[in-house]
């Protein structure tokens, strides 16, 4: 059963690990599986499926806010509100 949200909630608590090249988040309680989320490393231009939480492989320099995560759209709701990184990735 899907819960219909209006508006669709966002994950919370962004955690940047620059040294580990990861971006973690607290999932929406009703949607805990990381596979329900997607992430972007270019300010939301392109989105990829999350493969973990924390999401690994965030390489290269990215300003604060460039790396983002949100709930993926489904037949029951649009994509969720974006959670942005609060710190830069430097390498």
Residue with tokens 């270019």: 42
The pTM for the full model equals: 0.89
Do the domain assignments include residue 33?
Answer: yes
The structural domain count of the chain equals 1
Question: How many angstroms separate the CA atoms of 20 and 36, rounded?
Answer: 23
Percentage of residues in the chain with pLDDT exceeding 70? 92
Do the domain assignments include residue 28?
Answer: yes
pLDDT digits (tens, 9 = 90+) for 26-47: 999 989 999 999 999 999 999 9
Do the domain assignments include residue 3?
Answer: no
Do the domain assignments include residue 91?
Answer: no
- Residue-range definition of the domain harbouring residue 70: 12-84
Do the domain assignments include residue 5?
Answer: no
> What is the number of other CB atoms lying within 10 angstroms of the CB of residue 14?
19
What residues contact 16, with CB distance under 8 A and at least 6 apart?
22, 23, 67, 85, 86, 87, 88, 89
């Amino acid at each position: 059963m899907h819960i219909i949200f209006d508006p669709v909630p966002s994950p919370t608590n962004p955690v940047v690990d620059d040294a580990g090249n990861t971006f973690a988040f607290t999932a929406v309680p009703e949607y805990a599986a990381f596979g329900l989320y997607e992430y972007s490393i270019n300010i939301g231009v392109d989105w990829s499926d999350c493969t973990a939480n924390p999401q690994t492989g965030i390489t290269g320099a990215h300003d604060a806010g460039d790396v983002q995560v949100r709930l993926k759209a489904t037949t029951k709701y649009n994509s969720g509100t974006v959670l942005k990184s609060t710190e830069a990735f430097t390498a």
